Amino acid sequence: MGMQVEQVMAFETRTEPPGLEIQVNFGVFAGRDVTPAEIDELGRLLVPEVGDVSIVAEERHELGAGHEAAVHLVRIEVPAEELPDDGLAEFTQKLIGLAEIWARQCIAERHADVADL
């Protein structure tokens, strides 16, 4: 007898917050979404520095009375156990620097002007 798996469209999750979260305003400067290949490249830069890392690409829609905006973000989540015991500020700045270098390279290779969107 086969097991039937229920497919659920939306569900609640509860997660522990990451030890460190860095957000990259990718879409503001690139004028486009990040590609899966670009996320992989960012991972190759970060893993030697942090070990385990999560990279989330998201499109956020901010809506309100009389305004709306869509923002393409890349979020880097470093678990607390991967953070150094001391020198956290320097570690954080190093990761931010790597993220900025990565983003600038991506934008230089492929940029969409706002007028093109």
* Dihedral (Cα; 105, 116, 22, 68), 10-degree rounding: 170
pTM tops 0.85, yes or no: no
Cα–Cα distance measured from residue 22 to residue 53, given in angstroms and rounded to the nearest whole number: 11
Single-letter amino acid code for the residue at 6: E
Tell me the pLDDT band of 2, cut-offs 50, 70 and 90. Answer: low
**Residue 4: is its pLDDT beyond 70?**
no
* Dihedral (Cα; 82, 86, 90, 92), 10-degree rounding: 30
**Residue 91: is its pLDDT beyond 80?**
yes
pLDDT digits (tens, 9 = 90+) for 40-54: 999 999 999 999 999
pLDDT of residue 112: 61
Q: Return contacts of 34-39, CB within 8 angstroms, 24+ apart.
A: 34/72, 34/74, 34/106, 38/102, 38/106, 39/74
**Domains annotated on the chain, with CATH:** 20-116 (3.30.70)
**Residue 11: is its pLDDT beyond 80?**
no
